[in-house]
């Protein structure tokens, strides 16, 4: 029960912080999330509402990373296991104890895609001033994979561009 209360408090703090950040001078800022032990940065202006785990109805013949559809505030949203989509873990649903920590991060309504990403943990908000760009070795990577950054603790964060992800062919192909 204490975990649920702590989770609600975190969600409330993040929602308040999201509102205040959006009201500040424009700059680069991200919602930081963790999936399979890795850190990802979702552009704040492309991320939407954050939801606690909710029942998901599976879809027949869907790829393992497409968990199904969920009712989020009265709208049907496809739910994608981000770590499984990126190939950094299997497509199995989270174990029951871990389900209390997982969150669904919806895409911003302006992107016109009813989708939410299942992430293992929210890690707060990050600004460009808190991050140092990492030099990347040139390699072929999808358009939705942005720059890599390192924070002041030495942790590496990979930017994922949700607008590009929403248009990516493999992301849109949810059935086998």
CA atoms within 13 A on the CB side of 124: 4
- Residue 100, pLDDT score: 62
pLDDT of residue 64: 94
Question: pLDDT digit string (tens) for 55-64?
Answer: 999 999 999 9
Task: Give the residue from 114, 34, 121 showing the smallest Cα distance to 70.
Answer: 114
Q: What is the CATH number of domain 2-172?
A: 2.40.50.180
For residues 36-45, give the mean pLDDT.
95
Distance CA 67, CA 76 (A): 13
DSSP code string of 75-119: EEEEEEEHHHHHTSS-SPPPPHHHHTT-EEEEEPGGG---EEEEE
Residue-wise pLDDT tens digits, 113-146: 999 999 999 999 999 999 999 887 667 789 999 9
CB-based burial label for 78 (10 Å; 0-12, 13-18, 19+): buried
Tell me the pLDDT of the chain averaged across its residues.
87
pLDDT tens digits, 5-37: 877 787 888 777 766 655 554 578 999 999 999
Looking at the DSSP assignment, which residues form a beta bridge with residue 3?
A: none
Question: What is the rounded CA–CA span in Å between residue 75 and residue 166?
Answer: 18
Domain boundaries, given as residue ranges, for the chain:
2-172
CB atoms within 10 A of CB 104: 23
Q: What pTM was computed for the model?
A: 0.80
């Amino acid at each position: 029960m204490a975990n649920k209360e702590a989770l609600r408090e975190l969600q409330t703090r993040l929602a308040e912080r999201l509102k205040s950040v959006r009201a500040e001078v424009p700059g680069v800022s991200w919602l930081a999330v963790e999936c399979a032990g890795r850190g990802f940065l979702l552009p704040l202006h492309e991320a939407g509402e954050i939801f606690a785990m909710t029942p998901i109805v599976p879809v027949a013949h869907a790829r393992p990373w497409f968990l199904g559809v969920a009712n989020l505030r009265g709208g049907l949203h496809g739910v994608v296991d981000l770590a499984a989509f990126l190939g950094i873990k299997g497509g199995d649903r989270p174990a029951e104890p871990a389900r209390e920590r997982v969150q669904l991060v919806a895409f911003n309504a302006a992107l016109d895609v009813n989708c939410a990403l299942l992430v293992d943990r929210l890690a707060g908000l990050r600004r460009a001033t808190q991050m140092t760009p990492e030099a990347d070795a040139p390699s072929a990577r999808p358009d939705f994979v942005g720059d890599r950054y390192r924070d002041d603790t030495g942790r590496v964060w990979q930017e994922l561009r949700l607008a590009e992800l929403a248009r990516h062919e493999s992301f849109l192909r949810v059935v086998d």
